[in-house]
Structure 1
């Protein structure tokens, strides 16, 4: 199976026209975060105190002036009690059946600085989310681990994935799978300098009162 490669942003001086895509993606995510925060009656000060992020940085993210990392998005989503799927851009409404997401209707979240693209394969606001994650060569979540509520599992479809969970690092190849509690510090990356990776990834987040 060949997956379209995720990109880490404009390359080789392609110019401002191509850069508009990533900028628009950052703005769309920021606007959704602000709307969700305001709906819950939370101030930037409250979110900053709970996440350890500065008020200034959060304000820049909400205005699309800073590109948030996956760690930042998961931390804020955790605080707001939502799954990452709610932040995705695109149709995402599913077919008339109400439980099917057609191939041309997938919502997407592009973390262009990290070189990671996630396509949401399930309906947005759900405790269980299924993603098609694509990682550009050498793309990853960075050195600082992710820690959030829930559980996750996945299957490597193409390429390789280096996954570190609570200090244990393994390299998975196509056909390998994994599962772990999301509260265990974790990070991941594509180790190859010239090949993209594709992973079918599942996130399950707890719901209030569940």
Structure 2
């Protein structure tokens, strides 16, 4: 569970719950509740915790570190649905809990529910992002522009570009996203 991973990472790094809480801008009691799996933190809080612990976000969900050639079968994909998003992620590439060992890119298969935003807030990250739409139509809201990415289309978004995804359709959007370098 996420709470156990956060505690394990915190302990590995020698960080107290109070120090992690201060860096992540939450209370020590909130960290304690997360670590004991009593609450499900939002994506925004998980991102702050990962940043405070200096690990990729996906490491909060990882099983084992991979530093060699790896085949990820459909059944073994890491699947994540954050409580405050309408996206289901399936990680197609391996990842690591260490920024020094993490892959150069992250490839993610994801779905966004109909008539919904991928996340409640605008995202911006230091990685370049590219998305290929497998099914449906996806809107990328970037600054004051809306880019329609239809089935079979691809979009590239440079690093540090604020953006938000929206599914305007009546069915799930299915897409493959590539993020390089990996930041999850």
TM-score if structure 2 supplies the norm length?
0.76
Native 8 Å contact 1:152 1:180 kept in 2: yes
Which of 69, 87, 94 is the equivalent residue of 1:123? Answer: 94
TM-score if structure 1 supplies the norm length?
0.68
Matched, 1:32 2:5: yes
Per-residue CA distance 1:119-145 (angstroms, 9 max, x = gap)? 111112123211111122225201x22
Query: Equivalents in 1 of 2:60, 2:125: separation in Å?
Result: 16
Which structure 2 residues correspond to residues 1-210 of structure 1 after superposition, within 5 A? 28-88=1-61, 98-125=69-96, 126-127=102-103, 128-137=105-114, 138-142=116-120, 144-192=121-169, 194-205=170-181
Native 8 Å contact 2:109 2:177 kept in 1: yes
Comparing 72-81 with 130-139, greater Cα deviation is found at 72-81
Relative to structure 1, is the Cα distance of residues 38 and 71 closer, same or farther in structure 2, using a 3 angstrom cutoff?
same
Q: Secondary structure in 1 aligned to 2:23?
A: helix
Say what the alpha-carbon RMSD is for the aligned residues: 3.0
Shift of 1:65: 3.1
Query: Equivalents in 2 of 1:71, 1:31: separation in Å?
Result: 18
Per-residue CA distance 1:173-192 (angstroms, 9 max, x = gap)? 22222223453332223223
Per-residue CA distance 1:159-179 (angstroms, 9 max, x = gap)? 222222344332322222222
Aligned residue pairs, count: 176
Per-residue CA distance 1:25-65 (angstroms, 9 max, x = gap)? xxx12221221122122233333333334444443333333
Give every structure 1 segment of 4 or more consecutive aligned residues whose post-TM-superposition deviation is greater than 4 Å. 89-94
Corresponding position of 2:99: none
| Unaligned runs of at least 5 residues, structure 1 | 1-27
Native 8 Å contact 1:139 1:190 kept in 2: yes
